[in-house]
Chains A and B, each alone.
Chain A
Amino acid sequence: MEPSSLDAFFGPSRTDQPLGFVLSGSLSEGLGVKLDPRFSVEHLAVGRYVVIQGYQSGRTFFGIITDIALGASNPDLAHRLPNMEERFILEVYRGEVAFATLHISPMLMLDEDEEQPRPIKTIPSHFSPVFEASAADVARVFGDEDDTHFYVGTPLDMEAVQVNLDLARLVERSSGVFGKTGTGKSFITRTLLAGIIKTGLAASLIFDMHNDYGWAVKDESGREYKGLRQLFQDGQVSVITLDEETSRARGSKIDGTLKIGYEEIEPEDIEMLAGLLGLSEIQTGALYFLHRRLGKNWIARLLEDNPETDELQEMVESGRIVAGTLGAIRRKFEAFIPRMGFLEPGAGNNAVDDIFNRLRMGTSVALEFGNYGNTLAAYMLVANYLTRRIHARYVHQKNLAAGKKAEEPRPLVIVIEEAHKFLDPTVAGHTIFGTIARELRKYNVTLLIVDQRPSGIEDEVMSQIGTRVTCLLDNEADIRAVFSGVSGASTLREVLARLDTRQQALILGHAVPMPVVVRTRDYDQSFYAKITGETKTGSGKRKSTESLFGE
């Protein structure tokens, strides 16, 4: 093969021996490659990178192995096995009569006279040689770590190469971290958040259901890791708790306590909990009526010991509300609201303004739920309550900024766990989270959803998720959901289904130039040192690349 200027880009270190040659394929389905018999199929792995040298042009294509198969040139082979004791015969058969094929998803291409690879628009022709990508090839695609690019892990079998996520693009659209329970979602999310906070690209509002982010965190083996508040001790992260007692018991350094006054709660805040509280559609509708009639004291009035207040009595008697409906609402409120210590009679402690101001100043807020994290309804109530109000403030400020009356609001990333509960098809259409996911970066607010059941999230919302960081998933529906709205990515499903259970993730979408399987960065002392010890200067100029799933 003629040497070309591409060698200067992709580097000379890959082996000269092709892995195989392109024999079939399409842009949408990926390429079929016959493995050269000199290579052992047993040493390959899905998720590895390959470089394809275009046979008819000087183009170089960059792809990922998405499937490995065994084939035979004669279908009779399955019924007529050769003598298994004849090593020579087996050697001859292997590679010719019986061979291995690779399925490769081409991702990027690089013209001879270009320096930066871009998303593919065509495929290499028949018989184009396919090489294993060298570390230098991969490193060039993912660039250097700098002001906006954050090291999140290394590609499989390439410990020396850093995969650097484009955090500016990550926060530009909503993102997701998916994976089965116990696959390390929280660790990856904490790593990403550390990067976002360190680079100052956005403030984060973290609804920390299981106390995984703010202060010290323990893994399944009991080992303790630093929370974000400990990593950023210069005020870049605040911990606000709903459960002061538990936070103090855990030794968390807290910066505030969230109290929501009954008077601040609106029917919209409760509506999302209808399923959890067991409110029927009629009862949910009645909440609006009660709020309208009783005013901002509506919760307190409904919880009063003597229910037979004149106004409620009059409503029932006039037929505006059925006594059974009112009774059911009151029973359900009594069973839920008084148990939530962060809900208190009166006007609350103005937590929304406090949190909004912190976020506006660029301080990320981890909202520790303490023991309330075990109550999904509490989590949903608070997440919905705060997000609705903070989003409204962002919308207001963005509109002011459009009229040149205020500064552009600093980008905000809202982190929610158990996201499928918020973005379920039955509720996503009319909840604030569905709205945020759909409106993209319009108001500088995006979501970072952490979830183990992506199939439970509404399709339209999933399709708006720009960057997907996916740990092991083995449920078919979940795997399908992760790839929804990403053209051509379904070929990666085999890669996803075969991730290790720990510390491996497939990252695809807006923030990476091409899908990548990473062994995620260790969250350990070296990580702490890197985060706390570094200044914000970048380590080098990056060759930026367009995203595969770009605009």
Chain B
Amino acid sequence: MEAGTVIGRVTRCSTRGFAGAYPLNLDIPPSFGAFCHAPYQEEGYVIGVVYDINIEDDPLARQLASLVDVPDEQILDSQHNRQIPIEFSVLTLGYQEGEITYQILPPRPPMTLEPIRLLTEKDLIAFTDKLNFLSTISLNPSVPVDDLVVASILQAVRVRPESQRSQYLASAGRQLARNLAGDLHRLEQILSNLSLALPGVTNGK
């Protein structure tokens, strides 16, 4: 797996997911729905998707928020030079060992403080080629399923060449339809959000 941009380090972990943290001054902070990976015991990489980003408060932030007139410099200083990191949670979607990628839970979780990296475009295309990860997301009650499904599909579509986007989106849509055929309201909501986010693709352009 290629070394992508580091977006933080593992702070808590299990086979089902892990949490990471990053300093406030990171150039490219993780985003909701981003695909990332972290190594586990030198055997391979756990691959997951960011489903939650959490910024804790601190006493200074609370005090500043209560003041009426705070200089902009102080606000910026407090936003970027905090000692408390930003935490994010990752849902495990699969893992890679050697050249083989699996869309099932890994045998072991990554260790704490292992670097968490974004998947490169090439790895993202390869990993999302199979759509089983959508079922993993859809069946997980502890994550915001519908939004995460939309966000992950958006990532997977946008990373592909334009000529393949429409077909990929249709395949993903059909996979969702299989997963959510019993709940037409949710299915339509998700598809509608995808359509709004990718107007050029859903219009067949």
Contact = CB atoms under 8 A, between A and B. Distances in A.
A77 interface: yes
A337 to B, nearest CB: 76
A89 B188 contact: yes
Given A86-B195, A88-B195, A96-B174, A73 B181 contact: yes
B182 interface: yes
Contact of A80 (B173, B184, B192): B184
Q: Which of B169, B185, B202 has the most CB of A within 10 A?
A: B202
B191 A96 contact: no
Nearest to B188: A82
A91 B195 contact: no
A274 interface: no
Interface in A73-97: 73-74, 76-77, 80, 82-83, 86-89, 91-93, 95-97
B171 to A, nearest CB: 10
Interface string A104-139: 000000000000000000000000000000000000
Contacts of B185: 80
B187 interface: yes
Interface string B159-203: 000000000011001101110011011011001101100000011
A411 B195 CA distance: 72
- Main SS class of interface, A: loop
A80 B184 CA distance: 8
Given A83-B192, A86-B192, A87-B202, A92 B177 contact: yes
Nearest to A76: B184
A97 B177 contact: yes
Contacts of A37: 174
Contacts of A76: 184
Given A91-B170, A92-B173, A95-B174, A86 B191 contact: yes
Interface string B11-36: 00000000000000000000000000
A88 B194 contact: yes
Interface string B68-106: 000000000000000000000000000000000000000
A95 B191 CA distance: 15
Nearest to A37: B174
A523 B176 CA distance: 56
Given A74-B182, A80-B184, A87-B202, 7 more contacts: A74-B184, A86-B192, A86-B195, A88-B169, A89-B173, A91-B170, A92-B176
24 contacts: A37-B174, A74-B181, A74-B182, A82-B191, A86-B191, A86-B192, A86-B202, A87-B202, A87-B203, A88-B169, A88-B173, A88-B191, A88-B194, A88-B202, A89-B192, A91-B173, A92-B173, A92-B191, A95-B174, A96-B178, A96-B181, A97-B177, A97-B184, A97-B187
Interface of A: 37, 73-74, 76-77, 80, 82-83, 86-89, 91-93, 95-97
